[in-house]
Amino acid sequence: MQIKGGLAKGGLAYTDAVGARAVQVFVGNPRGWKLTAGDPRQDALFTAGCAERGVPSFIHTPFLVNVGSPTEATVEQSIASIAHNLARGAQLGCQGVVVHAGSAVGEDRYEDALRQLHERLLPVLDTVPDDGPRLLVEPTAGGGRSLAATVEDLGPYLDALEHHPLVGVCFDTCHAWAAGHDVSVPGGMTATLDALEATVGPGRLGLVHANDSLDACGSKRDRHTTIGAGTMGGGDYGTGPFAELLAHPAMAGVPVVVETPSERDGTPWAGHAADIALLVALRDAGVRAAEAA
């Protein structure tokens, strides 16, 4: 969500304007390392506003975070950023903190990068209270030497973190498509989510990013677009991939957010409002079909 005017003032106005039922926010510069303490008054108003609306909230860590990096300074800053965002998530009552799976940055560093995850990230997770936010690992589009792009890649990743109870998964539809999961055909999204749950186990899926893509399946390019207007949701199967997503049993109770273009026809937020309305309609149609069956 967009928070111009403050986390509470701007963020809650945005939430209401687009009809959001779940929100995701950055609590600092998404492309920087600065750790921002936040405004206690804005924090309290935001937490109360989300609770009043019944809207679960999530934090996304900065894009620079990469615990698998060969550069020690990057690893140190990544760990500090994750710890800070988990603490902010606890302050704000968030359900989860999303972190990109990261990259080994080199073909010969995969095992070393997984060891770094084990040695550097596990101690941070052990400091989070049992009722604190979960760390939701988001597989990437597969560029570079990604530590997790396909859903099957999450197996070794969670092994490295000893399947810590506070580790969950954030599934991004555009990333999965870019990594090679063909969800544009009937049954494709269902099979992908089946494989996800078989790999990580039930209950690990904590959030979904529902985004269409501008690029081809397997492109390893992460370019989001409006749902139904891209290569995965605009083909012969139409919005079928997203209908399958919302109907899958693993999705029961799992919030969904959109990271698509927010403006439409010159109107701020209209793009997000339309994508949210479309997802709600697909979900409701699936519920009616299931009841009729």
Tokens read off for 131: 């009722």
70 burial via Cβ count (<10 Å: 0-12, 13-18, 19+): middle
Q: How confident is the model at residue 257, as a pLDDT?
A: 97
Q: Judge whether 4 lies within some domain.
A: no
pLDDT score recorded for residue 106: 83
**278: which 2 tokens?**
């479309």
Go through 14-52 and write b for each residue having 16 or more CB atoms within 10 A of its CB, e for each that does not: bbeebebbbbbbbbbeeeebebeeeeeebbebbbebbee
Cα separation, 184 vs 227, whole angstroms: 12
What pLDDT was estimated at residue 54? 97
Nearest CA to 209 out of 262, 250, 171, 178 is that of 171
Which among 152, 62, 130 is positioned nearest to 99, based on CA atoms?
A: 62
Confidence of residue 1 (pLDDT cuts 50, 70, 90): confident
Cβ neighbours around 152 below 10 Å, total: 16
Residue 227 in contact with residue 259, Cβ under 8 Å? no
pLDDT in tens, 197-255: 999 999 999 999 999 999 999 999 999 999 999 999 888 899 999 999 999 999 999 99
Task: From 182, 134, 176, 129, select the one nearest 153 (Cα to Cα).
Answer: 176
* Residue 107: predicted pLDDT: 79
- Within a domain: residue 41? yes
Would 264 be classed as within a structural domain?
yes
Specify the number of domains making up the chain. 1
CATH label of the domain that carries residue 73: 3.20.20.150
**Chain-centroid distance, C-alpha 127:** 22
Structural domain range at position 160:
9-292
3 belongs to a structural domain: no
**Plot region of 54 (φ>0 → left; ψ -120 to 50 → alpha; else → beta):** left
For residue 77, the model assigns a pLDDT of 98
User: Which tokens go with 203?
Assistant: 């209950």
Residue 4 has pLDDT above 80, yes or no: no
Residue 268 lies in a domain: yes
Q: Give the DSSP letter string of 243-268.
A: HHHHHSGGGTT--EE--S---BTTBT
pLDDT for 5 beyond 90: no
CA-based Rg of the chain, rounded to a whole angstrom?
A: 18
Q: Compute the average pLDDT of residues 266-279.
A: 94
Q: How far is CA 256 from CA 16, 31, 245, in A?
A: 16, 23, 10
Q: Is the pLDDT of residue 42 over 90?
A: yes
User: Is the pLDDT assigned to residue 290 strictly greater than 80?
Assistant: yes
Domain assignment present for 188:
yes
State the pTM of this model: 0.97
- The Cα-based distances of 160 to 43, 132, 147, 163, 172 in angstroms read 34, 21, 11, 8, 21
Q: Tokens for 29?
A: 């510069």
> pLDDT tens across 114-156, in order?
999 999 999 999 999 999 999 999 999 998 899 999 999 999 9
Q: For the residues 250-264, what does the mean pLDDT come to?
A: 96
Instruction: Give the model's pLDDT for residue 233.
Output: 87
Question: Which residue bears the tokens 């290569």?
Answer: 231
Residue pointed to by tokens 């991004």 = 172
DSSP string, 22-40: SEEE-SS-TTS-------H
Q: Please report whether residue 2 resides in a domain.
A: no
> What pLDDT, on the 0 to 100 scale, is given for residue 100?
98
Asked whether the predicted pLDDT for residue 2 surpasses 80, the reply is no
**Is residue 164 domain-resident?**
yes
